[in-house]
Structure 1
Amino acid sequence: MIRLDKIGKQNGNQIVFIEASAALQRGEKVGLVGPNGAGKTTLFRLITGQEQPDEGTVSSDRGVTIGYFSQDVGEMAGRSAVAEVMDGSGPVSAVAAELKDLEAAMADPDRLDEMDEIVARYGDVQARFDELGGYALEGQAREVLGGLSFTPEMMDGDVGALSGGWKMRVALARILLMRPDAMLLDEPSNHLDLESLIWLESFLKGYEGALMLTSHDREFMNRIVGRVIEIDGGALTSYGGDFEFYEGQRALNEKQQQAQFERQQAMLAKEIKFIERFKARASHAAQVQSRVKKLDKIERVEPPKRRQSVQFDFPPAPRSGDDVVALKGVDKRYGGRTIYEGLDFSVSRRERWCVMGVNGAGKSTLLKLVTGTTEPDDGEVKLGGSVKLGYFAQHAMDLIDGEDTVFGSLERAFPQAGQGSLRALAGCFGFSGDDVEKRCRVLSGGEKARLVMARMLYDPPNFLVLDEPTNHLDMGTKEMLIGALAQYEGTMLFVSHDRHFLAALSNRVLELTPDGVHTYGGGYTEYVARTGQEAPGLRS
């Protein structure tokens, strides 16, 4: 259906692909993996024709339609979210826009003298809209947007008023509504809450076209794909099976290649030792010459390519008292909307609470109340003795000095630390080589988030409050963070949409629902087993 045949591609001085070949067949779902900068987005752009290969060919079957979702969504404004989503579905969107204009005209008292013509035109346009399946399409657009957690007000409001993350969802909904023959999705799981993520997972499982996607969410990837294509060192390697199978197979291949490399190195060392020992003896000249020729002909086994995964031993946190935080009779309202009424909740030392709830349930508000970022309207929030609080939130990124470099920001925070230690810390969070000299003002949102996290964990507090800490982290960094926090002996309260993170680190669940607050002993895995749902209001 879509084929890449011996493609070569170079971006500046970086060689991205060398004689790389792969194919995407009808109906199959493929995960595209590789280290940051390996060329995943370049591959998508080659398939869509936005870039051309330097060598080789990219081809697709005649008439195949391709929908491509990327992180660069462009400018959106002046239309409703529904209209923007329908716009990807051809002429029906233009007819829908005219229908809206005519409806506005019919309600305009200044245009009474034109009303007969407006009504007549409205009848014609309405018939055309119906003929094109517009009413069904609008219903489908609303269904997709609803799955991605849009409220009816957000669907009908100007898309220009939405944040960047919500505009991403609009762009994603547009591709999903198109239902092309092939979908290329570059990090569709970014910016989604858990409920939207589970809905998208279900949608993609039912999608009958071909799918190729990248994602830093291993659970999401694992449940959807049936084959993995890995980009590494300019080559494309295909693995049959889901993401978990790929990881196991790759580890096995590395182990076998390492063993083969070591065996060959031992043999070569033995031969070279013989040559060095007897090369000056005439009696062994023939044997030496024979072995030299043999070495020249041997095809060398390369050692396996090592993925750069930096581990960092974070210092232990100081011990807090047994009572970490207590909320008693807490009320919180925003305008006429009540978020909490008479909330009682307490956290004890070494508990790790994950907070679950649909959009608007008050997850981030709870974290703000606990950290003192917002005050309750009534009741009290009290931190326990010897509690050293660390709060990771999106607004923390605005407090970074834009003129500092990444390394300078770490040095300023920890003036007594050694350079080697700080460079190792930076490397853990994806800042290697020249990246540490980047000015903070040019960092992306994800890079700023990683820098804030690095600064927090180098001198760890004993009570970590984390609001979506894994956003923007690649799988390697996420695994490093999970490993570090698994060893952490302090207390945690966190919100996350990453099920792997939730399952690995929680030992308590706080569920916020319209009928009140529910607590569960045991972590996220036990919560799923007991409730039969992966998120509030959704059945697994």
Structure 2
Amino acid sequence: MIRLENISKQNGKQIVFIEASAALQRGEKIGLVGPNGAGKTTLFRMITGEEQPDEGQVAVDRGVAIGYFSQDVGDMAGRSAVAEVMEGAGPAGALISEMSELEAAMADPDRADEMDEIITRYGEVQGQFQELDGYSLDARAREVLDGLGFSQEMMDGDVGALSRGWKMRVALGKILLMRPDALLLDEPSNHLDIESLIWLEDFLKRYEGGVLMTSHDRAFMNRVVNKIVEIDGGTLTAYSGDYEFYQQQRALSDKQMQAQFERQQAMLAKEIAFIERFKARASHAAQVQSRVKKLDKIDKVEPPKRRQSVNFEFRPPARSGEDVVLLKGVDKAYGSRSIYEGLDFHVRRKERWCIMGVNGAGKSTLLKLVAGSTEPDNGSINVGPSVKLGYFAQHAMDLLDGDRTVFQSLEDSFPQAGQAALRALAGCFGFSGDEIEKKCRVLSGGEKARLVMAKLLFDSPNFLVLDEPTNHLDIATKEMLIEALSQYEGTMLFVSHDRHFLAALSNRVLELTPEGVHAYGGGYTEYVARTGQEAPGLRG
């Protein structure tokens, strides 16, 4: 369906692709992977025609419809979420917009003299809409929005009133309802809860067209894709299988390349030593000359590329008391909506609680109550002696001063720390060289998350309260954070929609449901085994 043939592309001084080739066939589900800045978004933009390769060509088969979901959702306002989703559904969507305009015109007294023409046109449009089975479109749009977590009220409400995260879901719904021949999905798993993620997994697995997608969610990628295309050093390399298989093959390939490189280096060292030793002796001139010619003809083996990786380092926190936090009889409501009534919850030292619940169940509210950023209406919350709390809030990244550099931001938080210590801290969290002088306003979501995490962990809290800490982190950075947190000696209370993160770090589960609060000993993996579902909202 779509072929990239020997494409080369340069953005400014950065060479993005060098004679790279790849293809997407009907029914293939391809995961596009590579470090940040490798060119994943550029590749999407070349396929859609928004950018052109400098050399080579992007060929799309005649008649192939492409749907592209990007992180740039644009403005949405003035219509319901359902209408917005249907508007993207090809001819039927355009007819819905025209019918809506004609209905407004029929109700406008200033256009009374045009009424015959308006009514005639409305009848024509309505007939075309019926021919396209347009009246089933509303039901299909609602089915997609329901899968993406929308309530009926949100579906019919003004899309302009939604947060950016919910608008992203509307934009994704538009593309899914369109059902094009090829879906290009740039981070579709961002901003989705576990229930919506699992619905989307099922949708994409059943989808008959081709899929090319990026995702920072390893479990999501593993369940959807049957092929990986890696962007690395300007080339595109295809691996059959899921992300897990790609990782194994990549590691094996690197190991083999390293062994080949070392063997050749040993051989070269031996040959060069012979040449150096005997080059001045006339009796060995022919042998020396022969070996020099041999070395000139050898194709040099390159060592495997070393991936830049972030290494999170924790200073061991001071020990807290056994009782870290105790909630007794806590009530919390927002207006007429009750979130908690008589909640009792006890967190002990070294416990790692993950909080599960559907949207609106009160996961973030519980974290805010524990962190002290919101107060209970009734009841008590007692934080234990010697507890030093570190809180990662969803809005924490919005609080960074855009005019300060990464280094200045760290200095502002830790004025007593020396320059060397702060530079080392920045390095641990992936800010090396000139990156430390970047202004906060130009940082990506992942870079902002790393900076906030650096500030949080430098102070060595012994109780971490984390609200979706991995939302903007790529797979490699998540792995490093998981590795570091698995060594962390303190207590944790966290919310995450990343199932790999949940399984790796939790040893307790608190499930929030309309029927009440349920605690499970054992971590997320045990919770799934006991309940038979990966999230509370999936149980009927």
The normalised TM-score by structure 1 is 0.95
Give the equivalent residue in structure 2 for 1:60: 60
Structure 1 equivalent of residue 258 of structure 2: 258
What's the secondary structure of 1:180's corresponding residue?
Answer: coil
Q: Residue in 1 aligned with 2:373?
A: 373
2:410 maps to: 410
SS in 2 for 1:394: coil
Give me the whole-angstrom Cα distance separating, in 2, the residues matched to 1:440 and 1:138.
Answer: 43
Are 2:442 and 1:442 equivalent residues in the alignment? yes
State the Cα distance separating 1:79 from its structure 2 match: 1.7
Tell which deviates more after alignment, 145-154 or 341-350.
145-154
Give the match for residue 517 of structure 1: 517
C-alpha displacement of 1:363: 0.5
Q: Counterparts of 1:131-142 in structure 2 under 5 Å? A: 131-142=131-142
| Equivalent residues in 2 for 1:180-219, closer than 5 Å | 180-219=180-219
Name the counterpart of 1:15: 15
Q: Aligned residue for 1:334?
A: 334
Compute the displacement of 1:150 (Å): 1.2
2:303 matched to 1:310? no
Kindly indicate whether the alpha-carbon contact (under 8 Å) linking 1:227 and 1:242 is maintained by their aligned counterparts in 2.
yes
Alignment of 1:211-250 (within 5 A): 211-250=211-250
User: Is 1:537 aligned to 2:510, yes or no?
Assistant: no
For 1:268-287, list aligned pairs within 5 A: 268-287=268-287
Measure, in 2, the Cα distance between the counterparts of 1:148 and 1:427: 38
Give the CA deviation at 1:123.
5.9
Residue matched to 1:491: 491
For 2:354, the equivalent position in structure 1 comes to 354
Shift of 1:434: 2.1
Aligned-pair identity (%): 79
Say if 1:287 and 1:370 are closer, same or farther in 2 by CA, change over 3 A. same
Q: Which residue of 1 aligns with 2:290?
A: 290
Shift of 1:85: 1.0
After superposition, give the CA deviation of every residue in 1:97-154 in whole Å (9 maximum; x if it has no partner): 3444566678899999999998887666544432221121111111111111111122
Residue segments in structure 2 that go unaligned for 5+ positions in a row: none
Against the structure 1 CA distance between its residues 29 and 86, is the aligned structure 2 distance closer, same or farther, given a 3 Å change threshold? same
Partner of 1:460: 460
Give the Cα–Cα distance (whole angstroms) in 2 for the partners of residues 419 and 305 of structure 1: 31
SS in 1 for 2:303: coil
In structure 2, give the amino acid aligned to 1:327: L
AA aligned opposite 1:484 = A
- Quote the offset at 1:177 in angstroms: 0.6
Q: What root-mean-square deviation, in Å, do the aligned CA atoms of Structure 1 and Structure 2 show?
A: 2.2
Distance in 2, matches of 1:420 and 1:309, equals: 20
Q: 397-406 or 141-150: which moved more?
A: 397-406
Q: Alpha-carbon deviation of 1:73?
A: 1.4
Contact 1:394 1:449 in 2 (8 A): no
Quote the Cα distance in structure 1 between the aligned partners of 2:387 and 2:103.
60
Amino acid at match of 2:341: E
| 8 Å contact kept, 1:428–1:477 | no
- Per-residue deviation, 1:370: 0.8
Q: Which range is displaced more, 373-382 or 400-409? A: 400-409
Measured in 1, the distance between the counterparts of 2:330 and 2:112 equals 55
* Separation in structure 1 between the aligned mates of residue 159 and residue 150 of structure 2, nearest angstrom: 11
User: Partners of 2:253 and 2:334 in 1: how far apart?
Assistant: 56
SS in 2 for 1:460: coil
SS of 1:387's equivalent?
coil
Question: Is the contact made by 2:312 and 2:481 (CA closer than 8 Å) also made in structure 1?
Answer: no
- Tell me how far apart the structure 2 counterparts of residues 493 and 352 of structure 1 sit (CA, whole Å): 6
- With 199-208 and 452-461 compared, the bigger mean Cα shift is at 452-461
* Residues in 2 aligned to 1:62 and 1:503: alpha-carbon distance in whole angstroms: 45
Q: Pick which of 439-448 and 144-153 moved more.
A: 439-448
| 8 Å Cα contact 1:428/1:480 also seen in 2 | no
SS at match of 1:332: strand
Give unpaired runs (5+ residues) of structure 1. Answer: none
Between the aligned partners of 2:466 and 2:425, the Cα distance in structure 1 is 19
Q: Hey, what does 2:175 align to over in structure 1?
A: 175
Number of the residue aligned with 1:475: 475
Please give the per-residue CA displacement for 1:278-317, whole angstroms capped at 9, x wherever unaligned. Answer: 1111111111111111111111110000111132321011
Distance 1:275 1:122 in 2: 90
Question: Which digits, 9 at most, give the CA deviation of each residue in 1:338-376, with x for residues without a partner?
Answer: 111111111000000000000000101111111111111
Range that drifts further, 497-506 or 60-69? 60-69
**Code of the aligned partner of 1:527:** Y
Change (3 A) 1:539 1:305: farther
Q: 1:178 to 1:399 in 2, by over 3 A?
A: closer
How many Å separate the matches in 1 of 2:150 and 2:449?
25
Q: Specify the SS of the correspondent of 1:91.
A: helix
1:435 maps to amino acid: E
C-alpha displacement at 1:510, in angstroms?
Answer: 0.3
Partner of 2:529, secondary structure, is helix
The farther-off stretch of 330-339 and 72-81 is 72-81
1:504 aligns to what? 504
Deviation at 1:450, TM superposition (A): 2.1
In structure 1, give the amino acid aligned to 2:339. I
Post-superposition shift, 1:426? 2.4
TM-score in terms of structure 2 length: 0.95
Q: Distance in 1 between matches of 2:419 and 2:58?
A: 47
Name the CA distance, whole Å, in 2 between partners of 1:114 and 1:5: 54
Distance between the aligned counterparts of 1:414 and 1:470, measured in 2? 24
Q: Secondary structure at the match of 1:537?
A: helix
Aligned CA distance change for structure 1 residues 530 and 293 (closer, same or farther; 3 Å): same
Q: Output the CA distance in 1 between the equivalents of 2:263 and 2:56.
A: 36
The answer to which of 434-443 and 185-194 deviates more is: 434-443
Q: Deviations over 1:25-82 (max 9, x none)?
A: 1111011000010001111111111111111111021111111111111122222211
* Aligned mates of 1:308, 1:444 — CA distance in 2: 17
Shift in Å, 1:397: 2.8
CA distance in 2 between counterparts of 1:521 and 1:11 reads: 52
